[in-house]
Chains A and B, each alone.
Chain A
Amino acid sequence: MDGFLEEEEEEAAVAATKKKAAVGSALLPALHLPFLPPHLYQPASSHEYKLNFKKSKEMCLSYIQDAMLQKQWKKAAEFLTFYIESLEKDFSTEYVSPSEMIWRIGTEILCHHSRSSMKEFNSFTEQMKSLGVKRYLKVCLEHTFHLLCNGLIDEAYQNLSLSESWRFGEQTVIQDKEMKLIKAYKGLLDYYNWSKQKNILLEHGQDGFEDLSVEQEMHSYFRKAAVNLKEIIKIPGVWDLFVKCYVDLLEFYGDHNEARQVLNEYAYNSKFPANPNAHVYLYQFLKRHGESKKSLVSALKILHEVVPSHELMIDFNIMLQKSKKRKRRRLGLEVIFAVLDYAGWKENVKAWSCLAKQVKQIVISEKHLDWIQQEWNSRKDWWPAFHFSRYSAKRNWQENESLSYEKALVAGILLGKGCKYFKYVSHQGCKAQVKRFRILKKFVNKHNPVYLRISGLSDCSVQP
């Protein structure tokens, strides 16, 4: 045992020198490499031969790692039983202590081992909880997640309540965060219980039957959930799930102002990340409560600025197209052009038909051609290659006829009747005797001067 202790001291000394080396030597890598073998940057210790226990520990760990990465869980479990010996003298100053390693490895093995059961998992986790004070909350949280994913919601709730009451000395920042998460998840489960009670009550309410105890229980769930959920969504973060639940609670009890405030805070507080969902939730809330068009437009306009490629932009464009205000229709064109800039929308029929519809409208009315021209100016050098190549004409025609129709219309107007895309598609369409393609060809031929005006050619060429 003395030998072990000596070795540990040695180990600590080596760790200390490692730190020193990190400060002093100019021969360290440009990038901090966590797993660089020490012999590469420091001369071997004269006492290296003594550190046999450490070496065998590392070797055992690497065997476990190899087995796990090759999905040999049985083998890994066998090795882990040997590795547990490293717990016997866990005084090391290593960054990650052996007990944490055992927790992580053990959990992973139990998750995948063909003969593991929930009971074993629970008992293992309970042991791990008692092994390290620092990690208690984290282990609890992970345990809860595991229970939740396996559908054991009541057990998870119990687990959360237990860990909520845990106290040990002064909490670190991380522990504080974990505690808040535990409370938030408890609030979430309270919310689910509340909504269960609510459904029962609603169903029974239809039957004309009222149960006071159920109602009281429901309200108590509401209070518990609301307190915890309110707490977490004040802290900057991504809390989609919690916000949705909290707003649902508030809406049910008719506290619309509070709900609106929460959603506004979540969407527009600069300390929070730019989460598109925050805007979506706000928009949906406004829509649910029949807010004025103006507020809906302003909410979506901000979303358009943050995420121009969001799927709500299609709705936004439709809404703006219908508008009587010129400014809004102008914005609508901008929105739909911006959506089609993105690769993900390249083959979306809905988006193309929106654009085609609006462009067609403008061309027929012959008003505001300058809008198209302005939008087209920043795109004319790359849209032809991006959207209107001969290859994509062929593919679109083969795969989606209506997509090729919408695109051909836009191409014909923006690039003229000589455009490759339009030529190919209209030719194929006419060959296949599809009526709308013939009409399309006529339409584009008729409005060819528009193309000249959009592309700025009309000044130097004689109009036919």
Chain B
Amino acid sequence: MEFPAALFPSYFGAGPPQEEGGPAPVAGWGEHGQVLEAGLGRRQAETTFVPRRGGMGESWEPADAAAVPLLPPNASCWVPSVAPQDILYRGVLRRKLQAGKYGAALDFTKQLSHFFVDHPEDVFGSLGQLLHQNFYLGNSKLRVSVRPAVTMPSPTPPLAAAIPSLCPLSSLQRQARDCTIRMTALREVIDRLEARRSCPRQHLVPRLRWFSHLSRDWLFEVPLGLLADCVHEDLLLQWASLLFDDSPTGGALAWLPPKDVGARTGRLVYPGGQAMNHLCILPCGVSLGREGRGHVALPLADTPDFQDVVLEELPCAQGSPAQFELNGRIRQVAAARVDGEDFVGVRSDYHCGVWSVSGRTGATPTPLQVIRTSVPASCLTVSPHLPGELAVCTQSGAIYLWNVETGLQRLRHDPQTMFFRDDSPWRWSDFTAHPRVLSCADRTGLQCLDTRAPERCHFDLFKVGEEAGCQQGERVVLPMYMGRAYSSQHLVTTQFSVYVLDERLPLVPVLKWAHMMKAPPLFAHLTPGGPGRSHKVLLGTSRTQELLLLQYRGEKRGSGVSVGLGGSRSACQLAGPPQKLHSIASCLQHLPAQLPHRHCLLQQRLGAPAAGLAAALQEDGLRESLLVFQLSEAGDCPPEPCASSQPSPAPQEAKRPEEPCASPQPSPAAALRYRRWMKALSKGCGDPPQRTRPRTFGQKRLFTRKELEEPSAPSTLHGQARQRLRQAMQDGGRIQRWDPPPPALPQPLEPAVGDTDPLSTRLTASWGWDWERWWEERTSFNMAQRQQALRERRRRQKRARGRHSLSASFTSSITYQSELSELSDAAPPPLSPGPPREV
């Protein structure tokens, strides 16, 4: 609680940030920041100094070569996330766009056409049915067999109006022809367009133009303009969340440490299930225990009168580990321990709930209350001071203090940001050292307000501006109360830096460091260190899955040495260099080898953005280990010990950190886990599920009448080909080569001996999969070979002149083919210039 006797020197300015913000990839290195006298003893011979950054920290080393999965893969969740190439325009127009204005372009037309193709029922449903009769998909001339009310296309209402009730047959015929569109022609036009892909716009065919002009207004179920607006809006949203998604801020993973210091089984709270909408509370530790089935019945509290937030029914627990199904994707899980009881707050977009988990092992988590918000909630934090108290923020700019017993209290409702204008509706709130004072944040800074008089009593804690030496464009990403280390300190991360603030010295950060992470850190976790030890802060990003371990300290110094004046706590310092921990994607290279497409899928899955971060400190005699859990958006749970180490018992005496031996191979236990995880993954969700029933089309719509005409007499060849096709379809395989195994060769059309009909020889060759050679032969390329073959043939013909049987002629042709192929094997013939391809 003591305030440091002296702080590091720093300038204090007011106003907007002066420094120009830019990517500074190494901004966090090489600086001591400032120094402060550490000796404090004026009577000592030499004064010693401590740096703000760069002092010695504890040495932590990764325990394994990569992250190790803790839980089996979330089999039910396999929706690959959107990638930029899905949304962005990458076609012909790219170069054009580049020549003109710069910037990414959303591929709007592609999305819209996907929509038409994927959801035809939704787009054209009823009108398609209505107009069904007015589209003709055949190729032949339109004929109308006039048997009224039986086969005549029932005209659509507007058309029906045009048709007199009683009309002569010829006119009826004409009418029907007039109001029926021949789709085949249209299809041909489209096909031709497809073929000339390079220029989709320039050669608009009049027929198509006419058709689209005619049907644009009424053909679509949803008015096209409206639909386009919606699709475009959604694309923009998708794009925005692809670049930066702040909904998982805070992280959806929490670790509830064991109640007794000696106990080893804590609990992990994480989302699971198909839509990440199951709250799982898993007791875990050295031994993964089992949780009994829990059931919940609790009276609902009174519904308070708030337009924004209403109380809802409570979810029920099911199965083990204790699992609760919620009706929304879990965005954030927050937890705090008050009076030996853990309170877990869960935020989804429109619902927030609070559970209590008592410290006893085997006790079931109890849901306490649920609220529903009309605007998505952006923050939920649990009070570390008072049981059952939480802070909730919504995107409408409202901040509530939520007490399970007394209900909700709205502290502020301001859609505007605090210090300057920023469009982001994101708000955050957390607790402070005073249980009645809440911090509230938006992208521009933090304020503290007294819940007893929120309008009057507040002060600015952090401002994006010159006060904290911010850069232009810098915004608050995640504030966190660090009461477990020092009761009055807060952590604030921005996309550039991480700040430590003290409530007692508002606006001036007591520590600032450029974290150099590739994406804004949305997750943070504090592991307080004991007396004389450094506190460990973990920062995590979502999109890039980065994990960074920082150490800082500001401990009491020289408690034995009485130093004249007042406080003896030293100012906050960053200890040791920051350290990168293994991310989920790092285990990819240690997983068993996969087929390329599976590898790709796996890569995609493991590379999914991170959704949460938690850590557990385990002490085992002198050896301490820090288990770091990271959760991915695909619901793959938390890979296990990321960092573990033997910190030297006295950190002050820590020697220079040794170069960590980069162990390229994971331990056998880890390898086993990888294998198990892979097995479970391939079992649970190997390939994305196929459509249950493939769509079938009537062939009559696809082929013209002429094409469908049965040959007058189906030959044996026909029959055999059909049989093969059928066989292949039954087996689900495909016909790779038309040349069947030698004994099952189809009987070719019987060529009369000496028949030199070129067509039949060509067909024979093509059936025998030697068509190319035949062509070469034809084009007289391999003259020598050809002559040789001819000589051979002549010799054989001479020999076989006696027996004029069909089979004999066939075998001879076989030998001829095989001989030829042997020859070609010996010396590959040069390619003939552009033989026509086999179709």
Contacts and interface: CB of A to CB of B under 8 A. Distances in A.
Interface of A: 17, 20-21, 24-36, 39-46, 61, 65-66, 68-74, 94-96, 101, 103-108, 111-112, 114, 142, 145-146, 148-149, 151, 153, 173, 177, 181, 184, 192, 195, 199, 232, 235-242, 244, 271-277, 280, 284, 306-307, 309-312, 341-345, 348, 378, 382, 385-386, 389, 391-392
15 contacts: A21-B103, A27-B103, A31-B495, A34-B22, A34-B496, A96-B22, A149-B32, A173-B18, A238-B7, A241-B6, A242-B9, A311-B567, A343-B385, A344-B486, A382-B435
B308 to A, nearest CB: 23
B452 interface: yes
B434 interface: yes
Contact of B37 (A111, A145, A146, A241): A241
A108 B102 contact: no
Contacts of B385: 343, 386
B436 to A, nearest CB: 7
Interface string B52-68: 00110000000000000
B23 A29 contact: no
Most A-side CB within 10 Å, residue of B26, B43, B452: B26
B621 to A, nearest CB: 24
Interface in B99-157: 101-106
Interface in B23-70: 23-27, 29-37, 42-43, 46-51, 54-55
A25 B104 contact: yes
Interface in B472-521: 473-475, 477, 483, 486-488, 495-496, 504-508, 516-520
A239 B20 contact: no
Given A153-B46, A274-B506, A311 B2 contact: yes
Given A29-B243, A32-B475, A311-B3, A42 B24 contact: no
B520 A33 contact: yes
A289 B47 CA distance: 27
Contact of B97 (A39, A43, A173): A43
A272 B54 CA distance: 28
B651 interface: no
Nearest to B565: A284
B593 interface: no
B244 A71 contact: no
Interface string B620-657: 00000000000000000000000000000000000011
B27 A40 contact: no
B114 to A, nearest CB: 20
A104 B434 contact: no
B433 interface: yes
Contacts of A61: 25-26
A111 B26 contact: no
B22 A42 contact: no
Contacts of A73: 659
A308 to B, nearest CB: 8
B520 A31 contact: yes
B495 A32 contact: yes
Nearest to B48: A151
A241 B384 CA distance: 35
Nearest to B488: A344
B102 A101 contact: no
B505 A274 contact: yes
B818 interface: no
Contacts of B11: 177, 235-237
Given A312-B566, A343-B384, A345-B1, 19 more contacts: A24-B102, A27-B106, A29-B244, A30-B243, A32-B473, A35-B23, A42-B103, A43-B102, A65-B26, A69-B579, A70-B662, A94-B22, A96-B24, A107-B31, A114-B656, A238-B9, A275-B7, A276-B3, A385-B387
Given A27-B106, A65-B26, A149 B577 contact: no
B510 to A, nearest CB: 9
6 nearest A-B residue pairs (beta carbon): A95-B22, A25-B103, A32-B473, A104-B30, A107-B30, A344-B487
Interface string B331-363: 000000001110000000000000000000000
B592 interface: no
Contacts of A240: 5-7, 9
B566 A237 contact: no
A238 B508 contact: yes
A34 B21 contact: yes
**Most chain-A CB neighbours within 10 Å: which of B23, B103, B506, B579?**
B103
Nearest to A95: B22
Interface string B456-469: 00000000000100
Listed residue (B22, B423, B504, B657) with the most chain A CB atoms within 10 angstroms of its CB: B504
B580 A70 contact: yes
A392 B339 contact: yes
Contact of A30 (B13, B33, B424, B518): B424
Contacts of B578: 69
A26 to B, nearest CB: 8
A43 B96 CA distance: 11
Nearest to A69: B580
Given A149-B51, A241-B9, A386-B385, A104 B658 contact: no
A74 B31 CA distance: 20
A43 B339 contact: no
Interface in B424-438: 424, 433-436
A363 B387 CA distance: 31
Contacts of A20: 102
Nearest to B516: A65
